[in-house]
Amino acid sequence: MNTIIFGLPGNERLMDQLAETIGATRGELSMRQFPDGESYVRVVSEVKGMEAIVVCTLHLPDGKLLPLLYLCRVLKDLGAVSVRLVAPYLSYMRQDTVFKPGEALTSAYFARLLSSFCDRLTTIDPHLHRRSSLAEIYSVPCTVLHAAPLISAWIKANVKDPVLIGPDSESEQWVSVVAKDADAPFTVLQKTRLGDADVRVSVPEVERYMDRTPVLVDDIISTARTMIEAVGHLKRLGLKAPICVGTHGVFAGSAYEDLVGAGAGQVVTCNTIPHPSNGIDVGELISRTLIKDQQP
């Protein structure tokens, strides 16, 4: 069956890369906002009888959701056999419990909404903390890819004598895997979050790694407060300027500039969210799974 691929605005580079490697037709779209702020979506290409792939990474999700929903719905109305959403970064995953009575459990609501308009979801390292699988909240089949081997390869190729450091206990699950493949030691710091942008990091045992290059590894860099606290802590201990590696560089507001200003030696992210810090390419990883699923 023929495959046609569409990219929402901002996703063109990854869409082009995927179209090229999986041999899919590039779909033509017209999307804009009316003067009153409502969304206009038009599919120009013929999609009848085709499998459609929609590429839309989901940082800053609120403004993307309605255009995405309209696109997926119109593709089905126009006769696409299936619509697969490729969202390298999946948002709302951190709202995975009710912290205070009355709070919306937005990870579950978001999952229900996405599951209502796409037939399948492919993503990279969703933040699974209190949940073990996307299947707990998504009702469509989900393919979860992992950036750890790519991050390990980047560290191996670019950092001499690294010590990998997870900025909090949650990060241990991926730091340990990245460290193993990078043939490097690792440790994990203890973190207390006092507010949205108030994070304290404490008591690592990194003194024995003084001669190594610290590489902080986390799945998401959002406000960057977690990384900034960790960078400050390592610097106070007299370690070299740490390299900060994030799978998903959300960089809310001035987070990137704040992190660089705090003394990070280098900031490197995967291109799950387009950003100047992108140094690790996930295109091939996604292509491989799309090609595998195309095979009869």
Using the rule CB under 6 A, is 223 a contact of ligand R5P? yes
CB atoms under 10 Å from CB of 236, counted, come to 8
Using the rule CB under 6 A, is 51 a contact of ligand R5P? no
- By C-alpha distance, which of 214, 142, 131, 233 is closest to 175? 214
Stretch that binds ligand R5P, among 39-47, 99-107, 200-208, 217-225 (CB under 6 A): 217-225
Find the binding residues for ligand R5P in span 59-78 (CB under 6 A): none
Using the rule CB under 6 A, is 168 a contact of ligand R5P? yes
Q: Considering only residues 171, 213, 271, 287, which one is a binding residue for ligand R5P as defined by CB under 6 A?
A: 171
8 Å CB contact between 294 and 22 = yes
- By C-alpha distance, which of 237, 227, 229, 212 is closest to 268? 227
Residue with tokens 């229900």: 112
Using the rule CB under 6 A, is 258 a contact of ligand R5P? no
Using the rule CB under 6 A, is 221 a contact of ligand R5P? yes
Residue with tokens 């986390």: 218
Using the rule CB under 6 A, is 125 a contact of ligand R5P? no
Strands 120-124 and 186-188: unpaired
CA gap 206, 200 in Å, rounded? 17
Using the rule CB under 6 A, is 273 a contact of ligand R5P? no
Using the rule CB under 6 A, is 220 a contact of ligand R5P? yes
What value does the CA radius of gyration of the chain take, rounded to a whole number of Å? 20
* Residue 156 C-alpha from the chain's centroid: 22
Q: Considering only residues 51, 96, 125, 170, which one is a binding residue for ligand R5P as defined by CB under 6 A?
A: 170
Q: Considering only residues 222, 271, 272, 287, which one is a binding residue for ligand R5P as defined by CB under 6 A?
A: 222
Q: Considering only residues 124, 148, 199, 262, which one is a binding residue for ligand R5P as defined by CB under 6 A?
A: 199
Binding-site ranges for ligand R5P (CB under 6 A): 94, 167-168, 170-171, 199, 218-226
